[in-house]
Every structure is written in structure tokens, then in C-alpha cells.
Structure 1
């Protein structure tokens, strides 16, 4: 699969260009999502459903710290794409150097804070009862590797901004394959339990960082910074922060949602209902990988052409990305509606020698997960417009509308819904909050994007 030079972002046909950008991104996201999915299947079958719930409790904390790297990466990559489009390589190099320095400073500080508050954070995110101890084991070990993950997420977005999606795809595949192999070795062969699952994940992050470091030190990259580029520059930091805050805010809201849902569901049905949501959460990461791949492929195309003042290409990239993403989202929707029970059944073991508590929890999860899955994914065919619309404003450097549209679904609609509906409808209210928020957010984003295209890209 050939890479795309930065110049081709402004000249190649949009449809073919989007495929070249989106397919490697989709494959990379697929493998990462499969990693999370299969990791959960291994843990569920070899350790138990309580272990799946424990990992689900830890994810929002470690993901939030890792999202700092992603935020710095996406914020800086928007600058890099536009700088390359405007033929300003020096600004691109300074931006990349500042991204590295900022990622290291912020994530290492957050790791120390996360370790210090471990006993308070885990119960706050729903790690109560039998979930607490395995969650603490997993959390502590995975947190050591979070700076590696943050650097990987940051570097991956820069690779894609250079027009090298194949290398970005490989960078996402390496930790996933490594983690799955080490899961088998540490959990199944060595019988290390939660310790094995955690160390496998951390080692995967380190493998990814080693490959990304190789890429930027090799001739494959045109963005190899020197020492002067690592010195922090306030104007660049401000621009990175304003655009990266969109991604960080999205992940912060996601962490809050995990906190709320884990606690609400624990109150409604205990550890087993938290495990139901853990499976749903894995499917949310995995099933929508092609939609997220199109979104990732769209970002450098829109950013480069906006920087090069090619308005018609920007507009064409928006419409093409929405069309492709909507098509794959509809295909995902059909699969999830037809096979929810089969998908849920992959996560749990039916071994007769399991403890009685695990057998009862597994039976509860298998009974309730299929219906919940159908409800959560009910509005999947329309989410493409919301994702591409929010991504467009981030790609072109308009931080405020990007932030507002990013927070529309989860912050402005979903959180109020899950705080209100379960009081009247119980567990059903939780699951219905997902499609209602999707519909409302898509309407708002569609209106805002239409207005922006009409005022900015039509002349």
C-alpha cells in the first residue's frame, strides 16, 4: 500500500486520496481495536467477567493521561499539515519538537499524580466490591507505560500528517500484535492473571514507541528535528493547546462518562451489569473502526488543502468523507443488529469449573448484553456526519467550533440523559441515552457544518 507524499494531498483525486489515507488508518485502528477486543476475550475466558469489569474501570484513567499525548499530537499535526501546505517546513519542525517536549513533561507529571491518588481514583470510577483489587493491580502496572503510549499517539498523528499512512498503520499494529502474543504468554502460559494482562499491555506500548522512534530517525521522514526544535515556543504551544484541547476535552468527557456509567450501573445491577457495559464499550471501540479510519484519513487532506487555499478540494473532501463513513457505518449497524448475542458470547467462558459467582455473573451478562448492544448502536448509520463535521473544524485550525461540536454528543446531550433517564426507566434509560444523544448531536453538527461550508467554501 503506497504512502502519499505531502504534495499529493493537494493534487491527487479526493476519492482515491481518501482511500489511500483512510484504509491504512482503518487497518491500524482495526488492529488496535482487535487488541482491546481480544485482550478482553482472553481476560474474560482465562480470568473471568469480574476481571473485564476491572479493566473497564481502569481504562478512563489511563486513557485520559494517554489522551494528553493524542491531544498534543492532533493539535500539532493540524499545524504541521497546514504548514506543509503553505511550504513552511521550519514551522513544522518546530511544532514537532515542541510536541515531543510537551508530551514528556505533561504525561510523566500525570503518572506521578495518578499513582499517588490510586486508592481514591479506582473506587471513584466504579472499582468497588470484588472489582477493586484486580483493578488496582492492572491500573498500577499499565500506568507505568502511559508515557510510552502518549508518545506513540502523538507520533502517529504526525506520521499521518506527513502523508505516510502506511507507516502510521504499522505503528498501530505493532503494539497490538505484541500485546496479544504477550497476553497468551503471560496469562495462559505463565498464569500471571491480572499482572500478566497489565504487563503485556505496557510492553506493547514500548514496542510501538521503538518503531516510531526508528521512523523519525530514518530517511522515511522529512521531520527529523534537531535540538533547537525541542525548545518550547510560546506561540506554538498556544496553537497546539487551543487545537489539542478539543481532543483532550473529548477524552476528559469520556472519562467522566465511564465514571458515571460504572457507578450508575453498579447501583442498578452490581458487578455483572458493569461487565455488560464493559463488553459494550469494547464493541464501541472495535465496531466503528472503519468510520474512525475515514475520519483520520480526512484530517490531513482537509488541513493541507485549507492551508493551500484550495477551497473546492476542501469541500469535496468533506462530502466524500461523509459518504464513505456513512456507508461503512451502515454496514456495521446491520452486523450488530443481526448478531448481538454471538458477539457478546465471545467474551465469556462457559467452563463448568468456574467459581459459582463467576458462573452467575456470566449468565447475567449473556442474558442482558445483546439487548443493550442493539440499543446502544441504534443510531450508528447517522454518526458519520457528526464525526466528520467536528473533525473538519479541528483540521482547519478553528478550535472553538471544533471543541463545541466534539462535546455536543457526550457532554451536552449524553451526560444529562444518563443522569435523568435511569431515574424513570432504570437500565433501559441508560441504553437509550446513547442513540438519543447521537441523533441530537448529528442534527446540531449538520446545521453548523452546512453554515460553515456556505459562508467559507462557496466562493
Structure 2
């Protein structure tokens, strides 16, 4: 009875307080989660004698790490909104079937990714922008990181099913435990044990393993509204199709981050050199710091929108979206504004190399200009996901990275030199945000209209 009441509060509790109770832990979890890679880079960048080169080497592993995370998003973010909708419809059995199939997909992805990247990591890293100077550090880091692929996939992918049932504090704790452990282990393994770059990767793997154990423990205990069971992990074509239809959008958003990173790093290497690739390593981490709070708010609000949609509460869906839009836009305006107007606040965190800091501060205002208004796109994208609108969400995901940023990052440098690589980002961001706003305005009315029809037919 208590579990049922916990899930129903998504549709009944006062919206403002509920959003805060769900969004704050989700934001904290997202921020803490990003510390896994950022803390590694901070420590690595300050290794005496070779920190700047090692930082650049670890930076080129980012596309692999993002691709691993993208597959976890494919299964987790594709399944969790569907499970929340089923909870809104009071069908716990269907929600558990979706959870189980998502877990089965995660196990399969982990096996394939670990084997594939372990075999081909060297040519892949060169393709991603590594040089003969940085390749050793890139190989050392990613070689160990790949061992923990299954832990990363479980910790990131299945955690969405915890927040998806309104347990955002528990979801946050699963991330906090691992992140705190990572922060403790990093200096011990990097400096005290003198493992260097390999120590940073070892700390991450151990920490993610602990987080994964926490997630599994919760999803199999009595407190969880929907339970993870082995019998539901057997993949069913109809369930996988539904998960894939919705999961393809967050997958593209994250996997294209890898494609973008490859394109940008390659362009910077060709037109500038290792120092320019180093700026991108720093700015990639800063981009995470800016977007993660906004994505955390969206992750906290998504279950409310999904549950309310399943329950047929049109007003609550609209109110939740408007609050999500306001908070997301405010977040990117403030955090992105710091990168544009006072870039040294961010740049000095990652390195003590004055040349690298100076160059990063020079290009950062250009690179982050468009991200200041990105909160609008984030809110629209998250709402489409929460409502199960796979096709529209897929278009928005493809637009910014695949259709705009990658082509522009290839074309601009031919006319502008190395600065063209940096200028491609704000142009793509601004066009994408404007287009998303127009698409959302014209499609949301239709979605809510269909929602009214479906709810009326059920009552009849």
C-alpha cells in the first residue's frame, strides 16, 4: 500500500514542492556523476611533469566513454519513461517487464562494447585525435575503463528506473556513493600508489561497481514499486521495439557527442595541434558542468510529466513543462554566461599550464555563446521523451549534432582556420534552439489534443 502511495504522489502532490523534491536530488546526482570524469581530469592535469600531455590523451578517450554511456541511455532512458507511464496506468506488471528488458539490453550491450573496443582501441583512439605523444596515456586510461563497462551501464542505465518511480533521493545516493569513493581513491591511486593515468581509471571502475551494486539492491528490494527480476530480462521483440523507439533519441544525443568529439578533435589536431586538442578536453568537461544541472532538472521532472500523461492529467503536464522550461533556461543563461564573460573561472580548474589556460580563455567565449539559450531545447526535448513522442524527439536529437554541428565543424575551418572549429558550435546551437521552439509550438497542441481524446474514450 505504501509503495502505491509513493508512486501516486507523482500525480497528486503539490507540483512546486514535488518538482523540488525530485529535481534537487536529480541535479545533485547528475552533477556528482559527472565528477567521475572531471575529477579524473583535474587530478591528471596536475600530475607533475606530464599532466598537460596526459590530460590531452585522456581527452581523446571521451568519445568511447560517451558511446558507452549512450548505450546505457538507449536502454535506460528509453525504458524508464515508458515504465512511469505504465505506473500512471496502474499496470505494475508491464512496468516490471519494461525494466527487465532494459536490464537485458544493458547486459548485451556491455559484452559487445567491452570486447569490441578492447580489440580495436588503438586505431580508434588515433581516429579520435590521439597523436604519437598522447596515445600511451589514452591507451592506459581506456584499457582499464573498459573492464568496468558493465558497471557503468548498470549504474547509469538502471538508475533512471529508480528516479522514474519518484525515488530521486535514492537515485541520488547511488551516484553519491560512487562519486565520493572515486574522489577518495583518485589521489591515492594516482599519486600515492604512483599508478598515474591508470590509477584514475581504476578509481572510476571501482566506484562505478559500488554504484551498480546499490542500484541493483534497490530495484530488487521491497521498497521498489517495480522490481527487477531475471524472468523479465528475457528480451521480447515488442517490448524492445518500444524501448528502442523512445531510446534512440537520447542515444543519438549522447552517441553523436562521440562523433562531434571526433570531428572537433581531428579538426583541432589538423589545424592547430595538441595544445588546441587540450582546450577541447577542458571545454568538454565545462560543457558537462553547464548542461548537467539542466539535464538533472529534466530528469527529475520527467516522471511527473510521464505519470500525469498516463493518468490523463493535461493541466499538470502543461504546468510541469512551463516550470521545466523556466528553470532550464535560467540554468544555461547563468552557467553559460560565466563561460562567455569570465572563462578563467572554469579554465583554471583543469590545468596550471599558462599557455593552455590562455588559449582556452581565448576560445571559450566563442564556443559557449549559443549554449546560453540551450535550456529551451533541453526542456522541449525532455518533454517529448516524457510523453513517449519518439519521432519528434529523434528529429531534435539529430538536428543539432548530426545535421548542423558536424558538417559546420568540417566546413568552417576551410575558410576560417582553426577558429572555424570553435565557431561551428554556437551557430549549430542557435539554429537548433530556434527550430526546436517552432516544432514544439506546433506539435504540442496536437499531442495534448490526442491526450484529451484518449482519456475521454477510456472514461466512456
Give the shorter-chain TM-score range.
Answer: over 0.9
Give 1:228-247 correspondences, 5 Å limit: 228-247=231-250
1:383 equivalent among 370, 374, 379:
374
Give 1:215-226 correspondences, 5 Å limit: 215-226=218-229
1:320-350 Cα deviation digits (max 9, x unpaired): 100111122222133323431232122123x
Give 1:24-63 correspondences, 5 Å limit: 24-46=25-47, 47-63=50-66
Deviation larger for 264-273 or 79-88: 264-273
1: CA distance between counterparts of 2:228 and 2:426? 45
Partner of 1:322: 325
1:417 equivalent among 408, 427, 437:
408
2: CA distance between counterparts of 1:265 and 1:383? 24
Partner of 1:312: 315
1:258-298 Cα deviation digits (max 9, x unpaired): 11111110112211111111000010011233211111112
Does the CA-based 8 Å contact 2:329-2:374 persist in structure 1?
A: yes
Is residue 2:428 matched to residue 1:437? yes
Q: CA deviation at 1:364?
A: 2.7
Give 1:290-439 correspondences, 5 Å limit: 290-349=293-352, 362-439=353-430
3-state SS of 1:288 partner: helix
Is residue 2:110 matched to residue 1:107? yes
Does the CA-based 8 Å contact 1:101-1:230 persist in structure 2?
A: yes
Deviation larger for 129-138 or 338-347: 338-347
Does the CA-based 8 Å contact 1:217-1:224 persist in structure 2?
A: yes
Partner of 1:77: 80
Does the CA-based 8 Å contact 2:66-2:257 persist in structure 1?
A: no
Partner of 1:9: 10
Partner of 1:91: 94
Change (3 A) 1:228 1:288: closer
Q: CA deviation at 1:63?
A: 2.3
1:128 equivalent among 128, 131, 134:
131
Does the CA-based 8 Å contact 1:100-1:151 persist in structure 2?
A: yes
Q: CA deviation at 1:40?
A: 1.1
2: CA distance between counterparts of 1:456 and 1:223? 28
1:196-245 Cα deviation digits (max 9, x unpaired): 11111111111111111221232321222334222222211110111111
Is residue 2:166 matched to residue 1:163? yes
Partner of 1:18: 19
Change (3 A) 1:282 1:225: closer
1: CA distance between counterparts of 2:26 and 2:89? 24
Instruction: Please report the TM-score for the alignment, with normalisation by the length of structure 1.
Output: 0.93
Does the CA-based 8 Å contact 1:376-1:431 persist in structure 2?
A: yes
2: CA distance between counterparts of 1:102 and 1:227? 12
1: CA distance between counterparts of 2:16 and 2:428? 30
Number of equivalenced pairs? 445
3-state SS of 1:69 partner: helix
2: CA distance between counterparts of 1:363 and 1:393? 44
Q: CA deviation at 1:13?
A: 2.7
1:149-182 Cα deviation digits (max 9, x unpaired): 0011111100011110001111122221111111
Partner of 1:281: 284
